[in-house]
Structure 1
Amino acid sequence: MTKNRTFTCGLDAAIAVVGGKWKGLILFALQDGPLRFGELRRAVPGISERVLILQLREMETAGLLHREVYHQVPPKVEYSLTEFGDSLNTAMAALGEWGEEHLERIEAIPWSDVK
């Protein structure tokens, strides 16, 4: 039996849902509509197949995306945002704008020195 988490605030809860490097990029890739696995992999450069599979499973379990399986040959699977995932994507847009606005400063941070 899995125990539900208790969060200290809304930000804590939101970060728990979108935590990690890849989920935000996957959400961003799906903002314009459904994508197949290969399309998602190309849309998120640097992600391995294994990590993408794991992230998609976690995001489906969290209710952020919908996995549609088309029973045909060859098999076809599409991923799309749910209303819940779309609302998170909307909320993250402001964070993305902040990142764009401060991109040069962020890129200049000596990340090896950041603990």
Structure 2
Amino acid sequence: ILAIAALLLGAKHAYCVDIDPQALLATKDNAARNNVADKMTVCFPDAMPAITADVVVANILAGPLAELAPVLADLCRAEGDLALSGIIDSQVEDLIPVYGAWFKLDQLKTKDENWCRLSGKRLSS
């Protein structure tokens, strides 16, 4: 859904990665329904091409976000944007030092009920 929204808002291409085959099938189906399938690469992590992106978004729980920090950092170009969601309010502070190694994180963590979004810019060096 995040990739489809990005494409509908003007992104040129989106890469969608998941470990769940059902999620990948649903992503392809939703992309076709929204006429953006030709602008989207949908794959398992091991098939992800070696690219850097202007924007990296992830909507998963804090544990996997912590584990994937170096991977997501490598995918984001210098000065690129990061947006992480799916974070339970009580766990957001644990992710700040993890991602702070690669990103200048925004001071404001957007909260909606018990969920948070953490965002920032990729450091140059």
TM-score w.r.t. the length of structure 2 is: 0.26
Q: Greater share of helix residues, 1 or 2?
A: 1
Who wins on radius of gyration, i.e. which is larger? 1
TM-score w.r.t. the length of structure 1 is: 0.27
Q: Which has the higher contact order (CA 8 A, sep 6+)?
A: 1
Q: Greater share of strand residues, 1 or 2?
A: 2
